[in-house]
């Protein structure tokens, strides 16, 4: 097989298998005791069984990584924090009362209640971004 094709396949593997790994991590996080504000998770499956299956999947992923000599990506936590904060910033700005008007008429006092809270969260998000910027 030509080197360019092999590199392309490795890149596809890395991209897709990294996504699988991230989704497995999300499943693992479901079982962690975390404070959730907008979601209550109802336990219905055996955590130990799920974690055992995830462990087996991760072993297969490690085997694939070794078999195809896939090098792991290296990413600074600041890059991850910045990308997540950018998405949060975008979502929050779309929640401001002025932007909500695109969905129809909104109560006049909504902005008085909502906008300062949104601005407070945005301010704190910007502080996180500033902290990340200092570490680069």
**pLDDT tens for each residue of the chain, 136 residues long:** 566 556 768 888 899 999 999 999 999 999 988 889 999 999 999 999 999 999 999 999 999 999 888 888 899 999 999 999 999 999 999 999 999 989 998 898 999 999 999 999 999 999 999 998 887 6
Q: Which residues contact 37 (CB under 8 A, 6 or more apart)?
A: none
Q: For residue 124, give the nearest of 95, 100, 88, 99 by alpha carbon.
A: 88
Give the pLDDT of residue 134: 84
Q: For residue 55, give the nearest of 25, 17, 80, 83 by alpha carbon.
A: 25
Output the six-digit token pair for 59.
């072993």
Q: Which DSSP state fits 31?
A: T
């Amino acid at each position: 097989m030509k080197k360019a094709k092999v590199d392309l396949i490795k890149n596809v593997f890395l991209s897709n298998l990294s996504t699988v790994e991230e989704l497995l991590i999300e499943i693992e996080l479901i079982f962690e005791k975390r404070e959730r504000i907008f979601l209550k998770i109802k336990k219905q499956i055996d955590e130990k069984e799920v974690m055992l299956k995830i462990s087996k999947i991760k072993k297969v992923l490690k085997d694939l990584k070794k078999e195809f000599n896939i090098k792991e990506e290296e990413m600074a936590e600041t890059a991850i924090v910045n990308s997540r904060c950018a998405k949060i910033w975008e979502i929050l700005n779309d929640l401001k009362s002025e932007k909500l008007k695109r969905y129809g008429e909104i109560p006049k006092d909504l902005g008085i209640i909502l906008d300062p809270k949104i601005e407070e969260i945005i301010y704190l998000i910007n502080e996180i971004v500033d902290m990340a910027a200092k570490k680069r």
